Amino acid sequence: MTESNKLPSGRTRIESLEMRGITKRFPGVLANDRVDFDVRAGEVHALLGENGAGKSTLMKILYGLYRPDEGEILVNGKAVHIASPTDAIRLGIGMIHQHFMLVPTMTVAENVALGLPSSRGALTDLDHVSKRIIELADIYGLKIDPSAYVWQLSVGQQQRVEIIKALYRGAALLILDEPTAVLTPQEVDELFAIMRQMVKDGHALIFISHKLHEVVEISHRVTVLRDGRKIGTRPTSETTKQDLANWMVGREVGFAPERGETIPGMVRLQLENVHCGSDRGTPGLRGVSLEVRSGEILGIAGVSGNGQRELAETITGLRKITSGHIRLEGQEVANFPPAELTERMLSYIPEERMRDGMIKDFTVAENLILREHHKRPFSQNGFLNLRSIANHADQLIKTYRVKTPSRDTLAKNLSGGNIQKMVLARELSRKPRVIVAAQPTRGLDIGATEYVRAQLLQQRKQGAAILLISEDLDEILALSDRIAVIYEGRIMDILPRDEATPEKLGLLMAGVHPEEGAPVVK
Amino acid sequence: MISDLFSVTVLIGILASGIRLATPYLYAAIGETFSQKSGVLNLGVEGQMLLGAFAAFYVSLNTGSLWLGLLTAMLVGALMGLAMAYVTVNLQAQQGISGIGFYLFGLGMSDLLFQRLMGTVETVRGFPKIYIPFLSDIPGIGEIFFSQNILVYGAYLLVPLAWFVLNKTTLGLKIRAVGENPDAADSLGVNVGRIRYFTIILGGTLSGIAGASLSIALLNVFQQNMTSGQGFIAVALVYFGAWRPAGVLGGALLFSMVNSLQLWMQVKSVPIPSDIAVMLPYVLTILVLVATVSKVRAPSALTKPFEREN
């Protein structure tokens, strides 16, 4: 670190930033309860907590998007007033939002220049901006083409544009709100390299996450929030993942769920040489055969984009197959409409839960009857029976521990974990005989993940046949009885759980047969 | 007869009036481009044009000053825009519905004022033709392009000007950002509401000019519902032109040429029922929109009111 108090961008460092006694109330919720938090130049301070613990609220206060009801903020020991993002930017605080604040139809340079005064008065000065972007990109090791359109960029590159945007505006302190949630593992490594460089140069970084291994890897100190309160702050080196998990959730957390033994019964789901197209016109599935028995979880492992989505969609009737057979309990159901499959007690936990698993502007109660709204007791002669819908909702909210102010709350206002619980409640409470679960814990926090996994195991115990599609190898290994690896639309191999090691699976996922050694010809 | 249509004189006539008739489309559609680029669908263009047309005509008739008439039309259009902006930005109304409301207001109000203040159809001497030195002497070309009135020239100058503002100025950058991702613009300190006020008022002003171009430059009369749907076609032209001024120009010319053709067909008594001929531009609107619209992407925030979360 240099002795000078200037950053490479030319901006003065923020030596220390302190939030004291921050309290924020929303109607019915105490989002932050007298929270203290501080960050210094040259460190990554991780802010850890479950969904709804108050991390984002605290940071939105720091960035001027919310006003605190109580408490104060000090920059370099002096109290400051932050009433808007403009104030925050002026103080040198930048924020990388979880949902990028970019205009896809504009270029990188245009996105950076937006809202800033131009050196050419009323005319844009994109050449000048581009030059400065390249300068900054060089200093911080961010490869970016200022003239590229944002829609052409990968998610990782878009995030870099966000970082450049903040640096361009002179950010000395950067808030990164769940920056890894949308990244591939390789992009996460690149982001961490950038973060390390920034810290070395004297920036202060706040890293919001609920992924423990990332917090342990990148942060110097970690603060844990739970239910709006600060649980504590510690140097990261003095904690373990287990400690942090227990702090976050407030109890002992088991990383490996108890599976219990079941005896697989009849074949409930069978695919035979299934072929289908994909959205890009290339073959999606190219001859998939597999079967799942009652009381069994078959895990589908694979790198994203190898046919997982098509597999889930063909079984659930959302995508037509071009040849092959799909059988439910021995009966051919290929290309049946979803309503018919619903009748045959097939349930689906979709990968895109916000898009395919719910209707955002419907209430929780309405979402809970989406599958069976046309049947008794929810409707009769075409009229909805509101009382039985309400009772049904109340019961499921209780049984599945969906945290919602009421059954009449719009589903979009729930947190991610609670939306998934709502989907589970709808799909699992009907005692399905076959369940297709696609990425059922992606983006969920520890508590919700644990809950979802326990529910799937419960269904297995009750005799459902479960197809678990997941890109999380730990999840596949923790839950599955047998593991199939999908690669380029084909099943490479199906291994019993005890024979499946991460190494073997990893090779198969890359298209290599461990015994044969040679990659499969495409 | 049909063969009469293909003499050189008639062809020049068709082209010259086609160029002229594109004028109201251009003003209205360029104005609409600005408001749609910022995320606001203004369906009230037709109403703004009608009131603009009346204001321009009435003031010109009574003061003898065409310029004062034009200015009044602009002011009336701007006021209509201001009202539309308030309803859209502050009250966050459904833009499709409120726009139809403004159309009906303009339609009814212009007729009421006409009945009350004038009662009979009168005529004014509109803006005279300006012959551009030398260029207007070129045979054919000169008559088609360089012997038009001031509002016609203005309409064509507006096209590159609009392109320049949208693509080369900080204001244009803000307008586009507000129409595509108002949250992003807001997070960078751009005042989304103010930008939309500006574009809607600008759109209203240009619609006012569009109306004036009919009543004091092209037809030189005012009568009830004289725009006969041109404001709505202007809205369609923005889609047709894929939100680009050059595209709008292409669309405006296409429609005005077809319109001009059908007018000449009537003049030359081509044996096609005039009802069918008059229908042509409208049928074309539908066909062209069906063929093109699905392929172009509208500004993402079009018709969506902006509200900062919480």
Which residues of B fall within a CB distance of 8 Å from A114? Answer: 173-174, 177, 184-185, 188, 190
The class that CATH gives domain A254-345+431-522 is alpha beta
> Tell me, what's the pLDDT at A522?
41
Give residue-wise pLDDT tens across range A397-422: 999 999 888 999 999 888 888 899 99
Q: Helices marked H in A269-352 — which ranges? A: 308-315, 338-343
Rounded average pLDDT over A116-132: 92
- Token pair recorded at residue B303: 């018709």
Determine, for residues B187 and A111 on separate chains, whether the beta-carbon distance falls below 8 Å: no
Other C-beta atoms closer than 10 Å to the C-beta of A40 total: 16
Between B7 and B33, the more confident residue is B33
> Tell me, what's the pLDDT at B214?
96
Q: Give the Cα separation of A163 and A175 in Å (integer).
A: 10
Which residues of A fall within a CB distance of 8 Å from B170? Answer: 113, 117-118, 122-124
Which residues of A fall within a CB distance of 8 Å from B190? Answer: 114-115
Determine, for residues B176 and A124 on separate chains, whether the beta-carbon distance falls below 8 Å: no
Mean pLDDT of chain A: 89
How many alpha carbons fall within 13 Å on the CB side of residue A397?
20
A115 at B interface, C-beta within 8 A: yes
Between B188 and A480, the more confident residue is A480
- Determine the distance in angstroms separating the CA of B191 from the nearest CA of chain A, rounded to an integer: 9
**A254-345+431-522 shares the fold of A3-249:** yes
Q: Give the Cα separation of A412 and A404 in Å (integer).
A: 11
Between B269 and B30, the more confident residue is B30
Q: Point out the residue among B169, B188, B300 whose CB comes nearest to the CB of A115.
A: B188
H/E run at residue A479: helix A473-479
> Tell me, what's the pLDDT at B2?
60
- The answer to whether the CB of A35 falls within 8 A of the CB of A19 is yes
Determine, for residues A113 and B170 on separate chains, whether the beta-carbon distance falls below 8 Å: yes
Which sequence spans correspond to the domains of chain B? Answer: 2-129+144-291
- Determine the distance in angstroms separating the CA of B299 from the nearest CA of chain A, rounded to an integer: 9
Other C-beta atoms closer than 10 Å to the C-beta of A502 total: 13
Determine, for residues B187 and A118 on separate chains, whether the beta-carbon distance falls below 8 Å: no
Determine, for residues A114 and B169 on separate chains, whether the beta-carbon distance falls below 8 Å: no
Query: Which one of B163, B187, B306 makes the best mutation probe of the A interface by having the most chain A beta carbons within 10 Å?
Result: B187
Determine, for residues A114 and B184 on separate chains, whether the beta-carbon distance falls below 8 Å: yes
Integer CA distances (angstroms), A96 to A41, A177, A208, in order:
18, 6, 10
- Determine the distance in angstroms separating the CA of B40 from the nearest CA of chain A, rounded to an integer: 17
The class that CATH gives domain A3-249 is alpha beta
DSSP letter string over chain B? -GGGGGSHHHHHHHHHHHHHHHHHHHHHHHHHHHHHHTT---TTHHHHHHHHHHHHHHHHHHH--HHHHHHHHHHHHHHHHHHHHIIIIIS---HHHHHHHHHHHHHHHHHHHIIIII-S--B---PPEEE-TTGGGSTTHHHHHSEEEHHHHHHHHHHHHHHHHHHHBHHHHHHHHHHH-HHHHHHTT--HHHHHHHHHHHHHHHHHHHHHHIIIIIS-B--TTTTTTHHHHHHHHHHHTTT-HHHHHHHHHHHHHHHHHHHHHHHTT-SS-HHHHHHHHHHHHHHHHHHHGGGSPPPTTTTPPP----
- Determine the distance in angstroms separating the CA of B179 from the nearest CA of chain A, rounded to an integer: 9
> Tell me, what's the pLDDT at B1?
53
> Tell me, what's the pLDDT at B294?
59
pLDDT-based confidence at A191, cuts 50/70/90? very high
Comparing CA positions, the residue from B213, B217, B63, B57 lying closest to residue B126 is B217
Comparing CA positions, the residue from B310, B239, B307, B309 lying closest to residue B90 is B307
Determine, for residues B173 and A113 on separate chains, whether the beta-carbon distance falls below 8 Å: yes
Which residues of B fall within a CB distance of 8 Å from A113? Answer: 170, 173
pLDDT-based confidence at B277, cuts 50/70/90? confident
Which residues of B fall within a CB distance of 8 Å from A100? Answer: 184
Least confident of A12-16, A261-265, A291-295, A366-370: A261-265
Q: Give the Cα separation of A205 and A41 in Å (integer).
A: 8
CA angle at residue A407 from A405 to A411, to 5 degrees? 80
**Binding-face residues of A in 3-62 toward B, CB within 8 A:** 26
Give residue-wise pLDDT tens across range B89-125: 999 999 989 999 999 999 999 999 999 999 888 899 9
Give residue-wise pLDDT tens across range A377-394: 899 888 999 999 999 999
SS3 of residue A342 by DSSP: helix
Place of tokens 């923005």: B238
Rounded average pLDDT over B6-21: 89
Determine if the pTM surpasses 0.90: no
> Tell me, what's the pLDDT at A507?
84
- Token pair recorded at residue A509: 């996922």
SS3 of residue A40 by DSSP: strand
> Tell me, what's the pLDDT at A2?
45
SS3 of residue A231 by DSSP: strand
pLDDT-based confidence at A515, cuts 50/70/90? low
pLDDT-based confidence at A250, cuts 50/70/90? confident
DSSP label at residue A278: -
Tell me whether strands A29-40 and A16-26 are parallel, antiparallel or unpaired.
Answer: antiparallel
Integer CA distances (angstroms), A352 to A393, A416, A455, B23, in order:
23, 11, 19, 49
- Determine the distance in angstroms separating the CA of B14 from the nearest CA of chain A, rounded to an integer: 39
- The answer to whether the CB of A466 falls within 8 A of the CB of A459 is yes
- CATH topology for the A354-429 domain: Helicase, Ruva Protein; domain 3 (1.10.8)
Enumerate the β-bridge partners of residue A80: A73
Which residues of B fall within a CB distance of 8 Å from A165? Answer: 188
Enumerate the β-bridge partners of residue A379: A384
H/E run at residue A133: helix A126-140
A:B CB pairs within 8 Å: 65
Determine, for residues B173 and A110 on separate chains, whether the beta-carbon distance falls below 8 Å: yes
Give residue-wise pLDDT tens across range A283-313: 789 999 999 999 999 999 987 778 999 999 9
Q: Point out the residue among A101, A110, A122 whose CB comes nearest to the CB of B187.
A: A101
Which residues of A fall within a CB distance of 8 Å from B177? Answer: 103, 106, 110, 114
Determine, for residues A86 and B185 on separate chains, whether the beta-carbon distance falls below 8 Å: no
Determine, for residues A123 and B170 on separate chains, whether the beta-carbon distance falls below 8 Å: yes
SS3 of residue A270 by DSSP: strand
- CATH topology for the B2-129+144-291 domain: ABC transporter involved in vitamin B12 uptake, BtuC (1.10.3470)
SS3 of residue A55 by DSSP: helix
pLDDT-based confidence at A263, cuts 50/70/90? confident
Rounded average pLDDT over A425-440: 95
Query: Which one of B163, B171, B175, B181 makes the best mutation probe of the A interface by having the most chain A beta carbons within 10 Å?
Result: B181
Q: Give the Cα separation of B202 and B33 in Å (integer).
A: 10
Q: Point out the residue among A89, A103, A122 whose CB comes nearest to the CB of B181.
A: A103
Which residues of A fall within a CB distance of 8 Å from B180? Answer: 103-106
Give residue-wise pLDDT tens across range B204-232: 999 999 999 999 999 999 999 999 899 99
H/E run at residue A74: strand A70-75
Rounded average pLDDT over B48-64: 96
Mean pLDDT of chain B: 91
- Quick one: what percent of chain A has pLDDT higher than 70? 95
Q: Give the Cα separation of A186 and A161 in Å (integer).
A: 17
Note if the bond before A377 is cis, omega within 30 degrees: yes
Which residues of A fall within a CB distance of 8 Å from B185? Answer: 103, 114-115
Q: Give the Cα separation of A218 and A197 in Å (integer).
A: 12
**ipTM score for this prediction:** 0.86
Which sequence spans correspond to the domains of chain A? Answer: 3-249, 254-345+431-522, 354-429
Residue A150 pLDDT greater than 80, yes or no: yes
- The answer to whether the CB of A486 falls within 8 A of the CB of A300 is yes
Query: Which one of A87, A103, A125, A165 makes the best mutation probe of the B interface by having the most chain B beta carbons within 10 Å?
Result: A103
- Determine the distance in angstroms separating the CA of A111 from the nearest CA of chain B, rounded to an integer: 8
DSSP letter string over A379-436? EETTEE-HHHHHHHHHHHHHHTT---S-TTSBGGGS-HHHHHHHHHHHHHTT--SEEE
Provide the CA A16 distance to its chain's centre, in angstroms.
Answer: 31
Determine, for residues A66 and B188 on separate chains, whether the beta-carbon distance falls below 8 Å: no
Determine, for residues B190 and A114 on separate chains, whether the beta-carbon distance falls below 8 Å: yes
> Tell me, what's the pLDDT at A520?
47
Which residues of B fall within a CB distance of 8 Å from A123? Answer: 168-170
- What radius of gyration, in Å, describes the C-alpha atoms of chain A? 25
pLDDT-based confidence at A456, cuts 50/70/90? very high
CB burial of residue A410 (10 Å; 0-12, 13-18, 19+): middle
Determine, for residues A115 and B172 on separate chains, whether the beta-carbon distance falls below 8 Å: no
